Amino acid sequence: MNPSTDEPQLKILCEDINKTFIQKGHIEVPVIRDINLQVAENEFLVVLGPGQCGKSTLLRIIAGLERPDTGYVALDGFPITGPGPDRGVVFQGYMLFAWRTVLGNVEMGLKLRGVPARERRSVARHYIRLVGLEDFENHYPHQLSGGMKQRVGIARAYANSPKVMLLDEPFGQLDAQTRMFMQHETVRIWEQEKRTVIFVTNNIDEALFLADRIILMEGKLPGRIKQEYVVNLPRPRDHEDPGLLKLRTTIAAATELVL
């Protein structure tokens, strides 16, 4: 688990990434600038930053949903040119297919890749069990609570057996209790099914609870990487842990308040 001892393999590489959006058809807004990032295999990386700091855009670039204006993004040494099933994405707004049941949502990726019905069903059931929704597999999304919806989102991404999991503020719409619970669940699921994870959040405690390493973004556009922190604490962590609190103070001091 300690990245310094067993020489981890490089999974994701971002070099000099720049991205500018065009708003209202004619105004150029630089969103992220000069991002350099390396993520090791099975590392849990958290990108931490306030509201509008380009962190979601960075994730979308790694997902292949946006093309960077300049720079190079690679997975396992191969350049990323578009979205693909080797990267699973969990979206902030759940983005479940309202017209499919939980099972239908989870097996969608396998279906798109032409896996036969019986096999994809058993794979999907495995991941539904992993996220603890086995009693709800025939429910439609609108019958589920927010936390359950996001479990479906996680199971859907996992079911495609991606090499990398990308989570874009996945718990942003949940209440504090559910959010905490989902963080525990995230750690549990991740320890059962180890993946490289990039997790975007605006919540320091969430970052500290989950991360092997925290990337702190600057608090305004264009987004730049401000600091990096390694969190070398055993899991499951305690929010009251003195080491964690000390790190929290450091990070909080480095985070500028944007009003």
Partner 1 sequence: MAYEEVVVKKPLLLRILPFVSVGVFLLLWEWVVVSGIVPSVLLAPPSKVFTLFIDKLSEPNPDGAVLAVHAWTSLQEAFIGYGLSLLVGIPLGLAMGWFKIVEGLARPVFELIRPIPPIAWIPLTVFWFGIGLTGKVFIIWIAGIVPCVINSYVGVRMTQPTLIQMARTYGATDWQIFRQLCIPSALPMVFGALQIALAYCWTNLVGAELLAADTGLGYLITMGGRLGRPDIVVLGMVSVGISGAILGFIIDCLEKKLLAGIRR
Partner 2 sequence: MSSSIANETVAATSGQEGFSFYRLVTNIYFLYAVSLCTFFLLWDRVAAWQVFGDSLARPHAVAGKLYDLSQVKFAGTNLAGHIWASTRRVLVGFTLASAIAVPLGLFMALNKYVNAVVKPIFDLFKPMPPIAWVSISILWFGVGEFSKIFIIAIGTFVPCLLNSYNGIRLIEPELYDVIRVLGGNRKDEILQVSFPASFPAIFAGLQISLSIAWTCLLAAELMNARNGMGFLIKRGMDTHQPALVLGGMVLIALMAWLSSLLISRIESRLCPWKRSIDNL
Task: Give the C-alpha separation, 39 to 44, whole Å.
Answer: 9
**Helix or strand holding residue 60 (H, E):** helix 55-63
To the nearest whole angstrom, how small is the minimum distance from the Cβ of residue 140 to partner 2? Answer: 4
Task: Give the C-alpha separation, 13 to 79, whole Å.
Answer: 9
To the nearest whole angstrom, how small is the minimum distance from the Cβ of residue 4 to partner 1? Answer: 42
Residue 95 binds which entry of partner 1, partner 2, none, with Cβ cut-offs from 5 to 8 Å by kind?
partner 2
Strands (E), 24-151: 27-40, 44-48, 70-75, 78-79, 87-90
- Which residue number, 31 or 214, has a Cβ lying nearer to partner 1? 31
Closest CA to 46 of 258, 231, 222, 235: 231
Per CB under 8 A, which region of 36-44, 92-100, 188-196, 203-211 contacts partner 2?
Answer: 92-100
To the nearest whole angstrom, how small is the minimum distance from the Cβ of residue 52 to partner 1? Answer: 12
Per CB under 8 A, which region of 49-57, 76-84, 222-230, 240-248 contacts partner 2?
Answer: 76-84
| 83 is a contact residue toward partner 2 (CB under 8 A) | yes
Task: Give the C-alpha separation, 174 to 182, whole Å.
Answer: 9
- CA geometry: angle 183, 191, 47, nearest 5 deg: 50
Q: How far apart are the first and last CA of the chain?
A: 38
- Which residue number, 117 or 258, has a Cβ lying nearer to partner 1? 258
3-class DSSP assignment, residue 20: strand
Within positions 22 to 81, which residues make up the interface with partner 1, using CB under 8 A? Answer: 22-23, 25-30
Residue 80 binds which entry of partner 2, partner 1, none, with Cβ cut-offs from 5 to 8 Å by kind?
none
To the nearest whole angstrom, how small is the minimum distance from the Cβ of residue 65 to partner 2? Answer: 5
CA distances from 12 to 2, 78, 190, 241 (A): 18, 9, 18, 31
Binding mask 11-30 for partner 1 (x = CB under 8 A): -----------xx-xxxxxx
Within positions 97 to 126, which residues make up the interface with partner 2, using CB under 8 A? Answer: 97-100, 108-109, 112-113
Given the structure tokens 């990434």, which residue do they identify? 17
Within positions 127 to 156, which residues make up the interface with partner 2, using CB under 8 A? Answer: 140-143, 156
| 64 is a contact residue toward partner 2 (CB under 8 A) | yes
Task: Give the C-alpha separation, 246 to 83, whole Å.
Answer: 39
User: Which residues lie closer than 8 Å to 135 by C-beta, 6 or more apart?
Assistant: none
Residue 82 binds which entry of partner 1, partner 2, none, with Cβ cut-offs from 5 to 8 Å by kind?
partner 2
- Which residue number, 113 or 129, has a Cβ lying nearer to partner 2? 113
Give residues in contact with partner 2 (CB under 8 A). 63-65, 82-85, 87-89, 91, 93, 95, 97-100, 108-109, 112-113, 140-143, 156, 160
Give residues in contact with partner 1 (CB under 8 A). 22-23, 25-30
